[in-house]
Amino acid sequence: MKFYILIIPALLLSIFASAQDQKKWQGKFEQLDQLLPTPNQYRTGSGEPGAKYWQQRADYTIDAEIDEPTNTLKGKETITYYNNSPETLKYLWLQLDQNINKKGNEDFGNYFGPVRDSLPTLYMQYITRAVEFEGGYSIQSVTDKASKNLPITINNTMMRIDLPVAVKPGESYTFNVAWTYPITDRSLFLLSREGYEHFPEDNNNVYLIAHWFPRMCQFDDYEGWQNKQFQRLGEFALEFGTYKVNITVPADHLVASTGALLNAKDVLSAKELERFEKAKSSFDKPTIIVTEEEARAKEKTKSTAKKTWKFQADNVRDVAFASSRKFIWDVQAVKLPTNTVLAMSFYPKEGLPVWSEESTKAVKNAVEIYSKYTFDYPYPVAISVNTSNIGMEFPMISFNGGRPRNGQMSDNAKAGMIGTIVHEVGHNYFPMIVSSDERQWMWMDEGLNTFLQTRTEMERYPAFHHTTPKDIVPYMKGDKSVMRPVMNTSDNERLNAFGSNYYAKPTVALTILRETIIGKDLFDKAFKEYANRWMYKHPRPADFFRMMEEATAVDLDWFWRGWFFTTDNVDISVEDVKWYKLNTAQANVENKNKTAKAGDLSAKATDKPNSDFSQGPQPFTVLNTEDKAYGEFRSRIDDNAVRQKLDGKNIYQVKFKNNGGLVMPLLIEWTYKDGSKEVENIPAEIWRTNENEVNKVFVKEKEVVNIALDPNSDLADVDVSNNVFPKKPAESKFDQFKKTN
């Protein structure tokens, strides 16, 4: 395209100065290119895996045993690691997550500090670890295929293995690790994800075994080894593979695990096996495999014999399991278009009656709705295990809190329990299959998952309270000096802000994208495309950002920048409204002798401020356009036709101010004199040339009596008092006193 440009030295200086200001300013509509990694042959500019995308693989054969008298787990594993990268690897890194339980590792004790009078003993235990306990791995051996020792270096929660011969691209390496560790009492930790829960009444334990074996760190094109230390909040980045796992436990235990059970005939009684086979076609309701009475009987006897349960899991990135003689077990089949899934629940009698009524139903609902918005659940089982005080996810299995007291549970507590189950089962999709790096970008699994949890609850539990934009307002208008952007590693966030920043805020952001900015149908197609493109792969934030734009044809850089890279909030105000009507009689007289200069749209309108609509419209004239305003164009607009189209119309010029920093669409509710209402959506691009304040002209057939921004709280506006016109009178101190007393 060619332009005619007149340049003078002063103008050059002005442009240069403006460019320098722009560099400092970094406008809200500036593209994200400089913040995102450059597209390449591994990850494309359209947000999908590139032609040469690669990822590593690790296959495991594991033998593990729980020693119940000593609460110890011992195990050995053979790992075959496949180097699919273009790099030669001289050493390997493994995660030793159990080492976080060693004394001296940071916990969340400072969450309850500082020390104060009358502090509960449990909080003092969190802060001081006054009651000492053992924790962490004892690595017994690391050997190659020929059983020769390999040199290792342990750095807290990471272990490096130096290889005798480097693993070249396309090669694999097989080695063995043997270990043992004390299973910790979950009640000794805040936010404990694994360990055992003790039940003094019957002197039994429920074992939640997770982070239990040395696991390969992820190695990818983005940052090489992901060997960031485990600090408890940031979770995991892991490689996919096949797992063959043999778990030896007391003979009267039930084991719930990632994977398909291979030896049901060996570990289940004839009656249990018959029920289990029947459950595989029980699509209408759960089938009880182990009853309450049977579980109670096992609690009393405590077998000293042992059984080995065998599981295999394909194309997963982790394995976890639960084991106890206390478990009641039910199963229901769930039919999806491409797969039949067994939804299961394992729970002690202390979970009755609510868990038998709601848990497997919630698993089924999660699997069905998540499949609808992403892809059919691909694994054979989806398991919910009842535990205390936590919700935690792993492939095919989740540990979920929520228990009745004396058989009773409030509606809110039950909703919380069901929501937890839906959420943790939903994590099978994000990040267990769409495998983002939780240790770096917690929002990519928690935010996307909570968004789909909300969709599930809205469709299957409409009476529940769902996460809405209004819910995030108290957090968004908080103290910005201690806030962190969403694009931040999880371990750097305050514990009391963790849920707001990584769960709720991204959920609200995606809800606004779907409901207000992109539109439901187009958003759903794009989100589904993202999920399918990155199944069993490792997406990064840039891949999601680019994918959602590529699949919708909506430039969202301004949105990602504001919601994910800053701590700005939404606070848009209606500053002023001017009401005009065209003075056609005056215009006809004046147009006999003169025409208007280009851009002179309201030559006769006054500029006095308005507090309401009581003074009526201001008259203004629209004059004929001078010929020179058309430049080289020979055609002319019909001046009278323009005036005729505006004759009798109500013209409103509204000034909006951006007080919070986040540029957003303008959702405007117009209330007319006849009582009718209309909601208008003005795209966020209205702010692109002035991010602080804008004027917008509206032409209305009817007279307006009220204007309200964001009438349904769809945009998380933190101050709705400045959203209306006519402005409400300031509240007196007496009125404020009455509200608070």
User: What domains does the chain contain, in order, with CATH numbers?
Assistant: 56-239 (2.60.40), 252-306+317-404 (3.30.2010.30), 576-740 (no CATH)
User: What's the average model confidence in pLDDT over 168-191?
Assistant: 94
How far apart CA 39 and CA 50 sit, in angstroms, is 9
Note whether 732 and 722 are within 8 A (CB): no
- Count the neighbouring beta carbons within 10 Å of the beta carbon of residue 448: 25
Residue 23's pLDDT band (boundaries 50, 70, 90)?
very low
How far apart CA 409 and CA 414 sit, in angstroms, is 6
pLDDT above 90 (res 739): no
Q: Check residue 109 and give its pLDDT.
A: 59
Residue of 356, 329, 357, 341 whose CA lies nearest to 282: 341
Q: Check residue 235 and give its pLDDT.
A: 86
- Structure-token match 């007291």, residue found: 405
Q: Check residue 84 and give its pLDDT.
A: 98
Q: What is the distance in angstroms between the CA of the first residue and the CA of the last residue of the chain? A: 67
Q: Check residue 26 and give its pLDDT.
A: 58
- Count the neighbouring beta carbons within 10 Å of the beta carbon of residue 121: 9
Ramachandran angles phi, psi of 111, nearest 5°: -65, -30
Q: Check residue 78 and give its pLDDT.
A: 98
Residue 696's pLDDT band (boundaries 50, 70, 90)?
very high
Q: Check residue 122 and give its pLDDT.
A: 86
Q: For the chain, what percent of residues have pLDDT higher than 90?
A: 80
Residue 106's pLDDT band (boundaries 50, 70, 90)?
low
E-state strands within 87-127: 89-95
Q: For the chain, what percent of residues have pLDDT higher than 70?
A: 90
Residue 586's pLDDT band (boundaries 50, 70, 90)?
low
Q: Check residue 9 and give its pLDDT.
A: 40
Note whether 257 and 245 are within 8 A (CB): yes
Q: Check residue 600 and give its pLDDT.
A: 39
Report the C-alpha dihedral over residues 360, 363, 369, 372, rounded to 10 degrees: -110
* Least confident window among 23-32, 116-125, 291-300, 599-608: 599-608
Strands 172-182 and 72-82, bridge-based pairing? antiparallel
User: What's the average model confidence in pLDDT over 132-155?
Assistant: 96
Q: Check residue 616 and give its pLDDT.
A: 92
Cβ neighbourhood burial of 735 (10 Å; 0-12, 13-18, 19+): exposed
| Residue 280 amino acid letter | K
User: What's the average model confidence in pLDDT over 361-367?
Assistant: 98
How far apart CA 174 and CA 718 sit, in angstroms, is 56
pLDDT above 60 (res 24): no
Angle, CA of 269, 272 and 273, to the nearest 5°? 85
Residue 147's pLDDT band (boundaries 50, 70, 90)?
very high
Q: pLDDT tens-digit profile of 374-402?
A: 999 999 999 999 999 999 999 999 999 99
How far apart CA 451 and CA 544 sit, in angstroms, is 15
Residue 25's pLDDT band (boundaries 50, 70, 90)?
very low
Q: How far are the Cα atoms of 10, 20, 34 from residue 17, in angstroms, in the given order?
A: 11, 5, 21
Four-residue CA torsion sign, 607, 612, 614, 617: positive
pLDDT above 50 (res 171): yes
Burial 283-310 (b: 16+ CB within 10 A, else e): eeebbebbbeebbeebbeeeeeeebbbb
Q: Check residue 249 and give its pLDDT.
A: 98
User: What's the average model confidence in pLDDT over 442-463?
Assistant: 97
Q: pLDDT tens-digit profile of 510-524?
A: 999 999 999 999 999
Residue 3's pLDDT band (boundaries 50, 70, 90)?
very low
pLDDT above 50 (res 690): yes
How far apart CA 227 and CA 223 sit, in angstroms, is 10
Q: Check residue 129 and give its pLDDT.
A: 85
Q: How far are the Cα atoms of 372, 383, 457 from residue 283, in angstroms, in the given order?
A: 18, 16, 21
H or E element at residue 75 = strand 72-82
Four-residue CA torsion sign, 600, 602, 604, 609: negative
Residue of 365, 323, 331 whose CA lies nearest to 348: 323
Helix (H, G, I), strand (E, B) or coil at 572: strand
Q: Check residue 192 and give its pLDDT.
A: 81
User: What's the average model confidence in pLDDT over 90-99?
Assistant: 97
How far apart CA 261 and CA 282 sit, in angstroms, is 18
* 517-522, long-range: CB < 8 A, 24+ apart: 517/554, 517/556, 517/559, 517/665, 517/683, 517/684, 518/552, 518/554, 522/552, 522/554
User: What's the average model confidence in pLDDT over 228-248?
Assistant: 93
**Residues 6+ positions from 491 with CB-CB distance below 8 Å:** 231, 232, 233, 234, 439
Q: pLDDT tens-digit profile of 275-325?
A: 999 999 999 999 999 999 999 999 999 999 999 999 999 999 999 999 999
Note whether 61 and 51 are within 8 A (CB): no
Q: pLDDT tens-digit profile of 121-137?
A: 888 888 888 888 899 99
Q: Dump the DSSP string for 511-525.
A: HHIIIIIS-HHHHHH
Residue of 98, 210, 209, 106 whose CA lies nearest to 159: 98
Q: pLDDT tens-digit profile of 565-584?
A: 999 999 999 999 999 999 86
Average pLDDT, the chain: 91
Q: Check residue 114 and give its pLDDT.
A: 77
pLDDT above 50 (res 548): yes
Q: Check residue 34 and give its pLDDT.
A: 87
H or E element at residue 531 = helix 520-533
Q: What is the 3-state secondary structure (H, E, C) of 299-321?
A: HHHCCCCEEEEEEEEEEECCCCE
Q: Check residue 682 and give its pLDDT.
A: 97
- Structure-token match 């722009």, residue found: 22
User: What's the average model confidence in pLDDT over 478-482?
Assistant: 91
Residue 193's pLDDT band (boundaries 50, 70, 90)?
confident
Note whether 177 and 214 are within 8 A (CB): yes
Q: Check residue 104 and give its pLDDT.
A: 81
How far apart CA 258 and CA 212 sit, in angstroms, is 13
| Residue 624 amino acid letter | N
Q: Check residue 599 and give its pLDDT.
A: 37
Higher pLDDT, 119 or 155: 155
DSSP class of residue 740?
H
Q: Check residue 597 and give its pLDDT.
A: 43
Please give the structure tokens belonging to residue 334.
């769930």
Q: What is the side-by-side order of every strand in the sheet holding 693-700?
A: 618-620, 572-582, 650-658, 693-700
pLDDT above 80 (res 347): yes
Q: Check residue 659 and give its pLDDT.
A: 97
- Structure-token match 């007393």, residue found: 741
Please give the structure tokens belonging to residue 118.
């009358």
Residue of 431, 474, 426 whose CA lies nearest to 452: 426
Residue 11's pLDDT band (boundaries 50, 70, 90)?
very low
The model's pTM is 0.91
Residue of 136, 161, 160, 157 whose CA lies nearest to 148: 161
How far apart CA 582 and CA 539 sit, in angstroms, is 56
H or E element at residue 574 = strand 572-582
Angle, CA of 622, 624 and 630, to the nearest 5°? 120
Q: Check residue 530 and give its pLDDT.
A: 98
Residue of 401, 211, 447 whose CA lies nearest to 317: 211
Ramachandran angles phi, psi of 40, nearest 5°: -150, -170
Q: Check residue 279 and give its pLDDT.
A: 97
User: What's the average model confidence in pLDDT over 667-686?
Assistant: 97
